[in-house]
Chain A
Amino acid sequence: MLALLALPVLAGQQQLKGRVAVVLDVGGRGDLSFNDMGFKGTDEAARDFGLEMIEVQNATAADYLPNLRNLARTGQYDLIICVGFLLGDALSQAAEEFPNQKFAIIDSVVDAPNVMSIVFRENEMSALIGALAAMAAAYHGYPAAGMVLGIEIPVLYHFEAGFRFGMDWGLKKYAEVTGETPDVKLLYTYTGTFSDIAAGKAATEAMLAQGAVGVYNVAGPLGIGDLEAISEYHENAGTEFGPPYYFGVDANQDWMGGGKHGLASGMKRVDIGCYTAVKSVVEGTFKGGVISLGLAEGGVGISKVQDLVDFIQFGIDGGSITCDDFYPIMANWARNRATLPCWIWQAVDELEAGILDGSISVPTANTVEEMQAIRAEYTLGAP
């Protein structure tokens, strides 16, 4: 045994141009969402630019700072990417201690000259989901559309503001096309958690009871509970497709639950954020400050056919679904999408085009006051 151990396998290393490290949130790999996408984006960039990439996971939140310090101390990494806003505290300290080390962080703003803070304009993709939800509700004669949110933090205000604007736009569009004036309310709940799946289920059940055409998940894993409530609703009603729908978030979650209820997802492309950061270092354009990624940069978007194909593949690679699931999911998803007429999908595309060419600007909110102003402007049935 010892003789075997004494022969370290020295792999022939090809000459690599640099090194990047990606530091993940405590959730770690395997979430098929945030962390996995951070890994995927960095990995792709490393391969495209011929860099060596290492991945660092954290067993607990107390490991964030030591891991960043250990990486920075080596002085060997051209860029250290932190995936997730929980790493913000640790990074602001590490960035100060190692002013010559380049860092990037996803979803949080760290004010230091050596940190590139990558944030997303979630309001843009949420507007598309809001418009779709409102038009779906009006089309099927449902009185409401729902939104289950996590902890009330500024990032989630982006989602709520965009969704409100989108619903308003969708209802106006519906009136313009059909000549009817639908009355669709917004139901929304801040559950106060990003981890309690049961809270997502309970909130969704309450919304479905009030006639919600679907629920937009803005609380990561709570979506599992949201989808469970929706699936049970369909079972009890004896329906297979159609409303109520599930609207996914961050990753393309349309394939979840066999693709039967996921109508569309508001995607936040963490992978593109990581790719952008690595690219900027390779091209020498890296600088500290905030980089905002929206529809125009491909940083956010509403799920399309190709996204679904990519993400099912992602799920198969991750081992959560098998290759045999591919066509059944695609078929279910197509049947579910077919419960809405083509003109509604075209209207969503029209809104997207409007945002892209700048003719439509989606409001956003970063503070309670700004959020209240938007709530007052787009009341959507709430007092």
Chain B
Amino acid sequence: MENFEPVIVAFCCHYCAYTAADMAGTQRLPYPANVKIIRIPCSGKIDTLHIVKAFEKGADGVYVAGCLEGDCHFKNGNVKAAKRVAYVQKYLEEIGLESERLEMVNISAGMGHRFAELASTMTEKIRKLGPSPVKAAAAL
């Protein structure tokens, strides 16, 4: 458990969080390598199946990062994403996974600092929760 390095998948909207990650890099802000970024054209493109599959394939934590409320490039993709995240959180509980392993966050393209901070807090949170029980069982 001490050496546990969580695998975290971050689905990042091209117009905000992905650009914020870029900015974090340009500003030379360190953030944990545990976070694997997947660029999506809008957080509203995220499907419940993408999130569930990420957990099935071994993610310990997942977060969907969309634009600040009211700032979605496609009007309300981030609001739709938040609803889907809430739906999957309930499903995870049914499966027997902690719903805290999944989060929806809102961020703007200029928030490089915030991106790095979020990546760190999510990594710390998942580190405390421990490995996903699914992954732990699969490893046995």
Bound together: no
Residues of A within 8 A of B (CB): none
Residues of B within 8 A of A (CB): none
